[in-house]
């Protein structure tokens, strides 16, 4: 993917990592394959894309780039729902990786910024993938409150990208007004 971006656009100045995969795999009875899938998508792929984006910026002397990780409120709290405990662990990892990235960017004496945007419940197909064997349960996820829309998250990205170069937005937590946790 990054080779194609290099060929078509010369490189990456802004990287928005928006990986998210949840499987109903509890800690006490989950399948290793489901845990690996979540780690591969939610943690490893984000880390690889981040590294490649930074290398692209460095190769072209881009000193004002931005790496934005779209994570989840699950990276800040653990809900009492065993099916998503491992997923939460992967999102906690993104919170830590984003802060580690910010520190490494400072150590590298660059002005490239790193931000973590953590939405709460967004009305997407996410619950239908998590509960792919129970579409009724998936649909109920979005019925009890007015959820965020993908456009709400996009507005947060636009806000982060519109800040002056001397402003570092580390984290944004965004959730529906009616969401309890």
* Cβ-based neighbours of 23, under 8 Å, separated by 6 or more: 30, 34, 35, 37, 38, 86, 87, 130
54 catalytic? Reply is no
Q: What is the DSSP string of 76-140?
A: T---S-GGGHHHHHHHHHHHHHHHHHHHHHHHTT---EEEEEEE--B-SSHHHHHTTT-HHHHHH
- Cα(142)–Cα(174) distance, rounded to whole angstroms? 16
Give residue for tokens 């780039």. Answer: 65
Out of 54, 76, 87, 142, the active site residue is: 87
Give residue for tokens 């009616």. Answer: 178
Active site residues: 87
């Amino acid at each position: 993917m990054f080779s194609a971006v290099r060929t078509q656009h010369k490189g990456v100045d802004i990287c928005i990592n928006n990986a998210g995969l949840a499987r109903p795999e509890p800690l006490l009875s989950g399948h290793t394959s489901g845990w690996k899938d979540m780690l591969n998508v939610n943690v490893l792929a984000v880390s690889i894309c981040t590294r490649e984006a930074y290398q692209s910026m460095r190769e072209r002397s881009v000193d004002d780039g931005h790496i934005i990780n779209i994570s989840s409120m699950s990276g800040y709290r653990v809900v009492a729902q065993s099916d998503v405990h491992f997923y939460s662990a992967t999102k906690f990892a993104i919170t830590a990786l984003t802060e580690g990235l910010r520190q490494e960017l400072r150590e590298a004496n660059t002005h490239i910024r790193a931000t973590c945007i953590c939405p709460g419940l967004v009305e997407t197909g996410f619950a239908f993938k998590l509960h792919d064997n129970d579409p009724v349960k998936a649909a109920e996820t979005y019925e009890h409150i007015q959820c965020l829309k993908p456009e709400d998250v996009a507005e947060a990205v636009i806000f982060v990208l519109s800040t002056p170069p001397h402003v570092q937005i580390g984290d944004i937590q965004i959730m529906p007004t009616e969401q309890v946790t």
